Structure 1
Amino acid sequence: MSHIQHHQPKHNRVMFLRNVGLLLLGQVAVASSLSVTSPPRVLPRASNINITSVATQGNGCPLGSISTSISPDGTTLTFGFDEFKAYYGPGYTPADKSKQCTIAMAVSYRSGQPFELLGATYRGPAQLGSGVTGTIYSSYVLTPASDAVASTQVNSTGPFMGVYTKSDTIAKSSRMLAPCQGTQVQLQINTRVSVTSRNASFSGGFDDEAPFSLGIHQLHLGWSQCGG
């Protein structure tokens, strides 16, 4: 039995190999170009950031009433409060209607891998009657970084009873990036919780509970790789 063999013309094989070679070279060139123009990605991890010191001041965070932690991926700083409560109504002073806390932190990070402040999430219990509003406002300052002050603000308006969760982002134009060549910054967070009412008969919380409290404040961070 004879076998039929098909032979590809030599010039066709040469052209085929040449085209394959050009295709592979083109793919290598594209890959090389991507590797040059795309900066290395900074993997989120807790080791990217470290809190070296924390100091607090204010009637919203008396001594021993605050905790701090860093998420496993290093993208969230969490502050827990036990006494950040605002009251409203007869028997309460103007100071009770607004509570304030200043947190001053020393934060270290990897040189060339700075972070920026992206936004915040707030969580806590509330007992707000109709016409009553609870407001949380925070401002943030990085030193050294920028003379600008970033801020977040959320409002909860009654009637509401339960646990609220509110988030706010920092405007992109206001975000502050830690210095590329630095390894430590001072982060100052000023937070105020207040209660206001259009309801003159509103007398505060139930069973001596505050109508508006801040339990958790989470500050969200973004990471980048400096060029050069």
Structure 2
Amino acid sequence: MVLAPLQFFCLFLLEQAVVASALSGTSPPLILPRANNINITSVTTQDNGCPLGSISSSISPDGTALTFGFDQFKVYYGPGYTPADKTKQCAIAMTVSYRSGYSFELLGATYHGPAQLDSGMTGTVSSSYVLTPASDALARTQVNNTGPFTGIYTKSDTLATSSRILAPCQGSPVQLQINTRVSLISRNAPVSGGFDDEAPFSLGVHQLHLGWSRCEG
């Protein structure tokens, strides 16, 4: 069964209380511009994890979360599959505009999706982020899911304060590049990791958490 991004959003929102609790210990108090002053003005994608028409994106009303939904970000392992089926990637380039006098930083990410992992199998989701013109440095998040497990996973990774990227204060549009990789490995062979032609590991939702502050001066 293939779930559309909107269906994954619905499943994802059911678990947001847990995610919010996990992040609350590291996030600063929120200082927000008006919601209607935060906009995604363009989004482009490429690579085999997010072919044309298989991804959706949105920003939360308060501007604290960028959410991406995927239909085809699935990896396979076992007889009948090639080594290339064990890894998929998605490169997202987007333009974000926001109100002058405010700035945001990347706090961390939450990943959500279905998994059918046999014992000895590990599904990994990792992302790197570059914010231009703020910095050429990379910020990275990563989660691991280890079998045996069958169900829907929701896992978060919080960036250390020293790793967070701060957007400029002038309010000009910034370019955010997100490169995400989904991979599957197994200590045991041969295994399928799934059943009924379902992928053993998928990424359905990637949510990037943002923290806002007023600029000094």
TM-score, normalised via structure 2 length? 0.84
Amino acid at match of 2:157: D
Amino acid at match of 2:92: I
Residue 47 of structure 1 deviates from its aligned partner by 2.2
Does residue 54 in structure 1 map to residue 58 in structure 2?
A: no
Q: Deviations over 1:154-201 (max 9, x none)?
A: 000000000000000111101011111242100000000000000113
Structure-1 residue corresponding to 2:100: 111
Q: Deviations over 1:75-132 (max 9, x none)?
A: 0010000000010011111111000000000110111201110000000000000000
Contact 1:66 1:81 in 2 (8 A): yes
Does residue 160 in structure 1 map to residue 149 in structure 2?
A: yes
Residue 48 of structure 1 deviates from its aligned partner by 4.0
Question: Aligned partners of 2:216 and 2:185: how far apart in 1?
Answer: 48
Structure-1 residue corresponding to 2:168: 179
Question: Aligned partners of 1:138 and 1:77: how far apart in 2?
Answer: 14
Structure-2 residue corresponding to 1:14: none
Question: Aligned partners of 2:214 and 2:33: how far apart in 1?
Answer: 12
Amino acid at match of 1:173: S
| 1:1-228 equivalences in 2 (<5 Å) | 42-43=31-32, 45-228=34-217
Partner of 2:162, secondary structure, is helix
* Unaligned runs of at least 5 residues, structure 1: 1-40
* Unaligned runs of at least 5 residues, structure 2: 1-29
- Structure 1 or 2, whichever has the larger Rg, is 1
Equivalent pairs, count: 188
Residue 204 of structure 1 deviates from its aligned partner by 3.4
Question: Aligned partners of 1:45 and 1:97: how far apart in 2?
Answer: 43
Amino acid at match of 1:174: S
Of structures 1 and 2, the one scoring higher in RCO (CA 8 A, sep 6+) is 2
Contact 2:33 2:102 in 1 (8 A): no
Percent identity of paired positions between Structure 1 and Structure 2: 81
Partner of 1:95, secondary structure, is helix
Amino acid at match of 1:142: L
Check 1:112–1:99 CA distance in 2 against 1; reply closer, same or farther (3 A cut).
Answer: same
C-alpha root-mean-square deviation of aligned residues, in Å?
A: 1.2
Question: Aligned partners of 1:130 and 1:143: how far apart in 2?
Answer: 42
Question: Aligned partners of 1:146 and 1:175: how far apart in 2?
Answer: 10
